[in-house]
């Protein structure tokens, strides 16, 4: 259950009170931020962010109210939502000092100095000071894991969706979508707009990114919500049966005694037909859909002497590029909905982990029993090593892969808390850190530091891919028309933040790709 801020009635939505409109000049649209990824004493604070203004001066992070003496304003954590953000209570983790860290923005990075007693680690190495860039994680041992990222100072207000009835911060919404990142709020807004348009739709996104979940949300919000939602993977329809599966047959056809079947198109009349993996249909079979998608929804059941009509909306989904579809079919799927993958919404991973573990407790209580606190709390114990690994890796199959990694971690954990024991996991089932596509994940990125901060990192393993050159970076940005996320994926980088870092090193401006 989400933590109720001071001054609010117990159980209230985080949007009921205490929210203030967030105003920021246009030139401060995006700033450096620290996000709480793990806080065992306050687990419901995952997803809260501290935002750092470019000219904000030094800030002090610590437990409770400021004690004074170190200089600088206090770090304030907020819960960001579109058009509003709610300031939360001071940190209460008992192992933190009242003045634990001093943080200051320098040259687009965040310089961190340890003041308090709690040891600080970056990349598994104890440090007294460091410089953080987006994608880096900082651990205050046993107390707090913080992810450095970029966030808008204020998430843009929703245009089509509404915050009315929104779930508590960090919880799944009524469609099962989990996330508080700007990318997920944009997705929710786009889903609401797509639902308001009664046109055939193509959902684009990587494998396991939640395309069917989004399609169901579109249906539930649309004028067709009272009608049926018929879902089928197009890749499982045999080529010889495509017409029978789509359009059904009359009684007694093709064999005597054969019952009448409405087919997917007929069954979806008045509602939505969701065809997953529509891009896997051979192009000659995609043509079978063209006539029924034209206005009127006319089709012929097998053996029927006259045409039938079905008033349905088709939502197709594919993890391929839209250009892989037959041109005529793509032209009929006039609305496009893009679902971001985990690499584009890395900040939601801690919230997804909590959600997936809660579901595991519900479905497999015996398997999860040893990870549950004896005080009756329902949230499993988790070590920072698990979140550190999950935040650093690259994902090929998104939520599906994250779920598998959690079960592998639980299986390999020896104590009463879920941890990441890489050697044990890899020794049991091959290299678990490999994606389903076979590519090894990028190693956790270590922050660039000055010589006085700590010793240089070790030489890279021969198994690690070399960093792309400046020419390769420029070529990828040009090929993807300045889309940093897609350029980073094409270069095999763990996230767009790594590409941002390379662009900075090579002196490449984002405009060079556009």
- Over residues 47-92, the pLDDT tens digits come to 999 999 887 789 999 999 875 544 568 999 999 999 999 999 999 9
Mean pLDDT confidence for 424-431 = 57
Instruction: Check residue 346 and report its DSSP letter.
Output: G
Q: Which residue has the higher pLDDT, 378 or 165?
A: 165
pLDDT of res. 25:
46
pLDDT of res. 307:
86
Whether 20 maps to a domain, the answer reads no
pLDDT of res. 459:
36
Mean pLDDT check: name the lowest of 15-19, 229-233, 253-257, 258-262. Answer: 15-19
Secondary structure of residue 474 in the 3-state scheme: helix
Whether 441 maps to a domain, the answer reads no
pLDDT of res. 477:
86
CA–CA separation, 266 and 275 (whole Å): 14
Please state at what angle helix 384-392 crosses helix 398-412, rounded to 10 degrees.
150
φ, ψ of residue 232 to 5 degrees: the values are -155, 140
Q: Which residue has the higher pLDDT, 17 or 290?
A: 290
Token pair 């004074």 is found at 68
pLDDT value at 26 more than 60: no
pLDDT of res. 426:
64
Mean pLDDT confidence for 442-466 = 37
CA–CA separation, 65 and 87 (whole Å): 14
Burial 91-119, CB ≥16 within 10 A → b, else e = bebebbbbbbbbbebeeebbbbbbbbebe
Chain centre distance of CA 195: 21
Containing H/E element for 218?
Answer: helix 211-221
CA-CA-CA-CA dihedral for 420, 421, 427, 431, to nearest 10: 40
| Same domain as 194, residue 300 | yes
- The β-bridge partners of 435 are none
Which domain-ending residue is among 309, 341, 373?
A: 341
Q: Which residue has the higher pLDDT, 503 or 191?
A: 191
| Same domain as 75, residue 125 | yes
Contact 109, 100 (CB under 8 A): no
Whether 102 maps to a domain, the answer reads yes
- pTM, two decimal places: 0.79
Which domain-ending residue is among 284, 308, 341?
A: 341
| Same domain as 148, residue 40 | yes
Whether 189 maps to a domain, the answer reads yes
| Same domain as 191, residue 322 | yes
How many CB atoms within 10 Å of residue 363?
9
pLDDT of res. 422:
81
Q: What is the CATH number of the domain that holds 243?
A: 3.40.50.300
How many CB atoms within 10 Å of residue 140?
25
Count H helices, E strands: the chain? 15, 21
| Same domain as 222, residue 336 | yes
pLDDT value at 434 more than 60: no
| Same domain as 60, residue 197 | no
Residue 489 structure tokens: 């994926």
- Over residues 390-405, the pLDDT tens digits come to 999 999 999 999 999 9
Residue 50 structure tokens: 């501290």
pLDDT of res. 185:
97
- The β-bridge partners of 151 are 31
What domain count does the chain have? 3
Indicate the pLDDT class of residue 260, thresholds 50, 70 and 90.
confident
| Same domain as 245, residue 142 | no
pLDDT of res. 495:
64
Mean pLDDT, the chain, whole residue set: 84
CA–CA separation, 368 and 261 (whole Å): 44
Q: Which residue has the higher pLDDT, 83 or 469?
A: 83
| Same domain as 237, residue 130 | no
Whether 280 maps to a domain, the answer reads yes
CA–CA separation, 144 and 46 (whole Å): 10
Residue 101 structure tokens: 């860290």
Give the whole-number percent of the chain exceeding pLDDT 70: 83
Indicate the pLDDT class of residue 499, thresholds 50, 70 and 90.
confident
Give the whole-number percent of the chain exceeding pLDDT 90: 60
Mean pLDDT confidence for 216-220 = 98
| Same domain as 209, residue 119 | no
pLDDT of res. 470:
84
Q: Which residue has the higher pLDDT, 455 or 397?
A: 397
Q: Which domain holds residue 38?
A: 30-152
- Over residues 301-341, the pLDDT tens digits come to 888 878 899 999 999 999 999 988 999 999 999 999 999 99
Q: How far is CA 385 from CA 17, 128, 210, 350, in A?
A: 35, 20, 26, 12
Which domain-ending residue is among 135, 152, 169?
A: 152
Burial 447-470, CB ≥16 within 10 A → b, else e = bbbeeebbeeeeeeeeeeeeebee
Whether 4 maps to a domain, the answer reads no
CA–CA separation, 26 and 101 (whole Å): 30
CA–CA separation, 470 and 509 (whole Å): 12
pLDDT value at 143 more than 70: yes
Highest mean pLDDT among 238-247, 356-365, 375-384: 356-365
pLDDT value at 276 more than 50: yes
SS3 content of the chain, % helix, strand, coil (to 5): 30, 20, 50
| Same domain as 94, residue 36 | yes
CA–CA separation, 28 and 53 (whole Å): 8
Containing H/E element for 51?
Answer: strand 49-52
pLDDT value at 384 more than 90: yes
């Amino acid at each position: 259950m989400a933590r109720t801020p001071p001054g609010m009635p117990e159980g209230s939505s985080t949007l009921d009170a205490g929210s203030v409109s967030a105003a920021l000049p246009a030139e401060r649209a995006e700033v450096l931020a620290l996000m709480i990824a793990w806080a065992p004493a306050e687990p419901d604070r995952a997803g809260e962010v501290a935002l750092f203004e470019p000219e904000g001066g030094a800030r002090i992070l610590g437990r409770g109210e400021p004690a004074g003496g170190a200089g600088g304003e206090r770090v304030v954590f907020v819960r960001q939502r579109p058009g509003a953000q709610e300031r939360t209570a001071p940190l209460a983790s008992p192992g933190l000092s009242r003045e634990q860290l001093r943080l200051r923005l320098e040259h687009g990075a965040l310089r961190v100095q340890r003041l308090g007693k709690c040891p600080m680690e970056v990349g598994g190495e104890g440090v007294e000071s460091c410089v953080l860039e987006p994608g880096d994680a900082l651990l205050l041992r046993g107390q707090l894991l913080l992810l450095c990222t970029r966030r808008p100072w204020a998430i843009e207000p929703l245009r089509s969706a509404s915050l009315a009835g929104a779930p508590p911060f960090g919880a799944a919404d009524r469609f099962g979508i989990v996330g508080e990142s700007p990318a997920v709020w944009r997705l929710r807004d786009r889903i609401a707009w797509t639902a308001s348009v009664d046109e055939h739709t193509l959902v684009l996104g990587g494998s396991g990114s939640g395309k069917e979940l989004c399609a169901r949300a579109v249906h539930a919000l649309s004028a067709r919500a009272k009608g049926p939602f018929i879902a089928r993977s197009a890749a499982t329809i045999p080529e010889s049966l495509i017409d029978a599966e789509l359009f059904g047959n009359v009684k007694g056809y093709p064999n005597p005694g054969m019952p009448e079947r409405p087919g997917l198109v007929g069954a979806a009349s008045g509602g939505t037909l969701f065809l997953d993996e529509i891009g896997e249909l051979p192009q000659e079979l995609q043509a079978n859909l063209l006539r029924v998608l034209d206005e009127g929804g006319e089709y012929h059941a097998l053996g029927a002497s006259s045409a039938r009509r079905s008033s349905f909306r088709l939502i197709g989904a594919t993890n391929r590029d839209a250009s892989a579809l037959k041109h005529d079919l793509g032209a009929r799927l006039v609305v496009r909905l893009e679902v971001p993958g985990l690499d584009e919404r890395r900040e939601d991973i801690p919230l997804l982990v909590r959600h997936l573990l809660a579901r595991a407790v519900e479905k497999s209580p015996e398997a999860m029993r040893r990870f549950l606190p004896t005080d009756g709390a329902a949230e499993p114990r988790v070590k920072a090593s698990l979140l550190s690994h999950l935040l650093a890796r690259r994902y090929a199959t998104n939520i599906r892969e994250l779920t598998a990694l959690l079960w592998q971690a639980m299986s390999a954990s020896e104590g009463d808390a879920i941890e990441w024991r890489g050697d044990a996991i890899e020794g049991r089932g091959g290299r678990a850190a490999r994606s389903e596509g076979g590519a090894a994940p990028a190693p956790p990125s270590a922050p660039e530091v000055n010589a006085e901060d700590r010793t240089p990192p070790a030489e890279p393993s021969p198994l690690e891919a070399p960093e792309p050159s400046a020419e390769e970076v420029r070529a990828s940005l040009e090929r993807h028309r300045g889309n940093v996320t897609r350029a980073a994926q094409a270069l095999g980088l763990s996230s767009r933040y790594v590409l941002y870092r390379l662009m900075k090193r090579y002196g490449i401006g984002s405009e060079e790709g556009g």
